[in-house]
Structure 1
Amino acid sequence: MPRSAALPVSLGEDFALYHAASGSTGYVFCGAWGYDELCSRKFLRRLAEDLADAGFPVLRADYPGTVNMRDPVPDTGLEGWIGTAVDAADRLKELSGCSRILYLGLGIGSAIAFLAAQRRKDVDGVVLAGPVASGRRYMREVQLHANVTNEGLGLALQGIHGDTGFSGFAMSEKLQADLKTINLDKLDLSTRPRCLVLTREGNENDNAFAGSLAEKGLKVQCETFEGYFALMAAPTTSVVPPKAIADIVSWSKTNFASASDADRPGVAASPQTVIVKGDGFVEQPVTFGPNGQFFGVLCRPETGDSTGATAVFLNTGYGHHIGWGRIWVRAARELARKGITSLRFDMANIGDSPQTDGLPDQVIYTKEAFNDVSVALDFLEREAPGPVFLVGRCSGAYVAFNEAVLDARVKGVMLINQLRLIWDPGEDVEAALRSGARPLDEYRRRAMRLETVKRVLTGKVDLIRAGGHIFSHVSDRLSRKLAPYLGPLTKLGRFRRACFSNFDAMARRGIPVHVVNCENDGSLDELARYFGADFSGLKAYPNVVQTIVPNADHNLTPEDAQQHLLSLLDQALLNARWNDGQAVRSQAAE
Structure 2
Amino acid sequence: MLYVTKEETADSFDTLSWEPGSASMPVSFSRTVGHYTPAMAGTAPSDCAVLFLSPWGFEEMCTRKLWRDLAERFAASGVSSLRFDYPGTGDAPDDMEFPGGLPVWEAAIEAAAAELRRLSGASRLILVGHGLGATFAALNAGSLGPVEGAVLMAPVISGRFYLRELAAWSKMVDDGLGLSDEQRIAAKVSIAGLVMPGEIAAAVRGLSIQAIEAIPARSVLVVHRAARDNEAAFADRLESLGATVTRRDYDGYDDLVSNPTIARQPEAVATAVAAWVASLAADTGTAVHPAMPPAPTIVEGDEFCEEPIRFGPRHRLFGTLCLPKGERRGAAVVLLGTAYDRQAGWARSTVETARYLASNGVVSLRFDAANVGDSPPVADAPGQVLFSAGQQDDVRAAFDLLGGRGLGPAVLAGRCSGAYLAFRSALEEERCLGVVAVNPFTFVWDEDENVEEALRYNPRSLGDYRKRALRADTFRRLASGEIDIRRAAGNICRQLGSRVARSAPSIFWRLSKFGRLRHAVHASFGRLSERHVPMRLIYSETDVGLERYHAYFGADGTGIKAYPGVTVEIVQGADHNMSPPDAKTFLRRHILEMALAAAK
Give the TM-score normalised by the residue count of structure 1: 0.93
Q: Name the SS for the 1:197 alignment partner.
A: strand
Query: Which residue does the alignment assign to 2:22?
Result: 4
Query: Pick from 161, 167, 175: which aligns with 1:137?
Result: 161
The one-letter code matched in structure 2 to 1:15 is: V
Query: Which residue does the alignment assign to 1:87?
Result: 111
Question: What is the distance in 1 between the residues matched to 2:519 and 2:561?
Answer: 17
Query: Pick from 229, 234, 242: which aligns with 1:217?
Result: 242
Query: Which residue does the alignment assign to 2:73?
Result: 50
Question: What is the distance in 2 between the residues matched to 1:264 and 1:64?
Answer: 29
Query: Which residue does the alignment assign to 2:184?
Result: 160
Deviation, 1:326, is: 0.4
Query: Which residue does the alignment assign to 1:456?
Result: 478
Query: Which residue does the alignment assign to 2:218?
Result: 193
Question: What is the distance in 2 between the residues matched to 1:526 and 1:493?
Answer: 12
- Contact 2:130–2:153 under 8 Å retained in 1: yes
Q: For 1:496-525, what per-residue CA distance to the aligned partner results, in whole angstroms no more than 9, with x for missing partners?
A: 111111111111111110111112111111
- Contact 1:483–1:493 under 8 Å retained in 2: no
1:18 aligns with 2:42: no
Q: Name the SS for the 1:329 alignment partner.
A: helix
Moved more, 314-323 or 197-206: 197-206
1:386 aligns with 2:408: yes
Deviation, 1:449, is: 4.5
Question: What is the distance in 1 between the residues matched to 2:556 and 2:242?
Answer: 69
1:66 aligns with 2:61: no
Question: What is the distance in 1 between the residues matched to 2:473 and 2:215?
Answer: 52
Deviation, 1:165, is: 4.2
Deviation, 1:214, is: 2.2
1:123 aligns with 2:147: yes
Deviation, 1:186, is: 3.3
Question: What is the distance in 1 between the residues matched to 2:407 and 2:277?
Answer: 46
Q: For 1:147-204, what per-residue CA distance to the aligned partner results, in whole angstroms no more than 9, with x for missing partners?
A: 1110111111343126794211122111111111211123332754321111123222
Question: What is the distance in 2 between the residues matched to 1:171 and 1:556?
Answer: 20
Query: Which residue does the alignment assign to 2:357?
Result: 335
Report the CA distance shift for 1:206/1:479 in structure 2 as closer, same or farther (over 3 A): farther
Query: Which residue does the alignment assign to 1:412?
Result: 434
Deviation, 1:488, is: 2.5
Deviation, 1:65, is: 0.5
Q: For 1:244-300, what per-residue CA distance to the aligned partner results, in whole angstroms no more than 9, with x for missing partners?
A: 111101111223336xx7345663867831111112000000001111000000000
The one-letter code matched in structure 1 to 2:455 is: L
Moved more, 549-558 or 182-191: 182-191
Query: Which residue does the alignment assign to 1:244?
Result: 269
Query: Which residue does the alignment assign to 1:584?
Result: none
Question: What is the distance in 2 between the residues matched to 1:238 and 1:245?
Answer: 14
Deviation, 1:468, is: 3.2
* Number of residues of Structure 1 aligned to a counterpart in Structure 2: 575
Q: Name the SS for the 2:433 alignment partner.
A: strand
Query: Which residue does the alignment assign to 2:496?
Result: 474
Q: Name the SS for the 2:119 alignment partner.
A: helix
The one-letter code matched in structure 1 to 2:176 is: G
Query: Pick from 364, 385, 404: which aligns with 2:386?
Result: 364
Deviation, 1:145, is: 0.8
The one-letter code matched in structure 1 to 2:21 is: R
Query: Which residue does the alignment assign to 1:285?
Result: 308
- Contact 1:415–1:514 under 8 Å retained in 2: yes
Query: Which residue does the alignment assign to 2:42?
Result: none
Query: Which residue does the alignment assign to 1:523?
Result: 545
Query: Which residue does the alignment assign to 1:510?
Result: 532
The one-letter code matched in structure 1 to 2:109 is: A
- Contact 1:309–1:389 under 8 Å retained in 2: yes
The one-letter code matched in structure 1 to 2:389 is: K
Deviation, 1:51, is: 0.8
The one-letter code matched in structure 2 to 1:18 is: Y
Question: What is the distance in 1 between the residues matched to 2:292 and 2:385?
Answer: 29
Report the CA distance shift for 1:332/1:384 in structure 2 as closer, same or farther (over 3 A): farther
Q: Name the SS for the 2:585 alignment partner.
A: helix
Query: Which residue does the alignment assign to 2:4?
Result: none
Superposed, which structure 2 residues align to 1:96-107 within 5 Å? 96-107=120-131
Query: Which residue does the alignment assign to 2:12?
Result: none
- Contact 1:200–1:228 under 8 Å retained in 2: yes
Query: Pick from 177, 189, 194: which aligns with 2:202?
Result: 177
- Contact 2:150–2:220 under 8 Å retained in 1: yes
Deviation, 1:437, is: 5.9
Moved more, 465-474 or 273-282: 465-474
- Contact 1:20–1:269 under 8 Å retained in 2: no
- Contact 2:535–2:566 under 8 Å retained in 1: yes
The one-letter code matched in structure 2 to 1:53 is: A
Q: For 1:112-149, what per-residue CA distance to the aligned partner results, in whole angstroms no more than 9, with x for missing partners?
A: 22222121340111111111121111111211111111
- Contact 1:419–1:436 under 8 Å retained in 2: no
Question: What is the distance in 2 between the residues matched to 1:8 and 1:163?
Answer: 32
Deviation, 1:347, is: 0.7
Question: What is the distance in 2 between the residues matched to 1:185 and 1:425?
Answer: 52
Deviation, 1:452, is: 2.6
Deviation, 1:465, is: 2.5
Deviation, 1:13, is: 3.7
Question: What is the distance in 2 between the residues matched to 1:178 and 1:300?
Answer: 35
1:306 aligns with 2:328: yes
- Contact 2:167–2:189 under 8 Å retained in 1: no
- Contact 1:299–1:333 under 8 Å retained in 2: yes
Query: Which residue does the alignment assign to 1:376?
Result: 398
Q: Name the SS for the 1:574 alignment partner.
A: helix
Give the TM-score normalised by the residue count of structure 2: 0.92
1:231 aligns with 2:256: yes
- Contact 2:331–2:362 under 8 Å retained in 1: yes
Question: What is the distance in 2 between the residues matched to 1:4 and 1:117?
Answer: 30
Question: What is the distance in 1 between the residues matched to 2:317 and 2:505?
Answer: 41
Superposed, which structure 2 residues align to 1:262-277 within 5 Å? 262-263=285-286, 267=290, 272-277=295-300
Question: What is the distance in 1 between the residues matched to 2:294 and 2:138?
Answer: 31
Query: Pick from 545, 563, 586: which aligns with 2:585?
Result: 563
The one-letter code matched in structure 2 to 1:507 is: S
Superposed, which structure 2 residues align to 1:417-456 within 5 Å? 417-436=439-458, 438-447=460-469, 449-456=471-478
- Contact 2:403–2:409 under 8 Å retained in 1: no
Moved more, 223-232 or 471-480: 471-480
1:146 aligns with 2:170: yes
Q: For 1:320-340, what per-residue CA distance to the aligned partner results, in whole angstroms no more than 9, with x for missing partners?
A: 111100000000001101100
Q: For 1:541-585, what per-residue CA distance to the aligned partner results, in whole angstroms no more than 9, with x for missing partners?
A: 22111111121111112222212222222322233x41x3xxxxx
Moved more, 332-341 or 558-567: 558-567
Q: Name the SS for the 1:482 alignment partner.
A: coil
The one-letter code matched in structure 2 to 1:383 is: R
The one-letter code matched in structure 2 to 1:434 is: R
The one-letter code matched in structure 1 to 2:71 is: A
Query: Which residue does the alignment assign to 1:500?
Result: 522
Percent identical residues: 37
Deviation, 1:215, is: 2.7
Question: What is the distance in 1 between the residues matched to 2:505 and 2:224?
Answer: 52
Moved more, 463-472 or 535-544: 463-472
- Contact 2:119–2:293 under 8 Å retained in 1: no
In structure 1, the gaps of 5 or more residues are 581-590
In structure 2, the gaps of 5 or more residues are 2-19, 40-44
- Contact 2:188–2:195 under 8 Å retained in 1: yes
Query: Pick from 171, 187, 202: which aligns with 2:227?
Result: 202
- Contact 1:81–1:112 under 8 Å retained in 2: no
Deviation, 1:450, is: 4.5
Question: What is the distance in 2 between the residues matched to 1:72 and 1:573?
Answer: 26
Question: What is the distance in 2 between the residues matched to 1:212 and 1:478?
Answer: 64
The one-letter code matched in structure 1 to 2:27 is: V
Deviation, 1:60, is: 0.6
Q: For 1:404-423, what per-residue CA distance to the aligned partner results, in whole angstroms no more than 9, with x for missing partners?
A: 01111111011111111110
The one-letter code matched in structure 2 to 1:469 is: N
Q: For 1:32-88, what per-residue CA distance to the aligned partner results, in whole angstroms no more than 9, with x for missing partners?
A: 211111111111101110011111110011100111001142335311112211211
Report the CA distance shift for 1:164/1:560 in structure 2 as closer, same or farther (over 3 A): farther
The one-letter code matched in structure 1 to 2:536 is: H
The one-letter code matched in structure 1 to 2:195 is: A
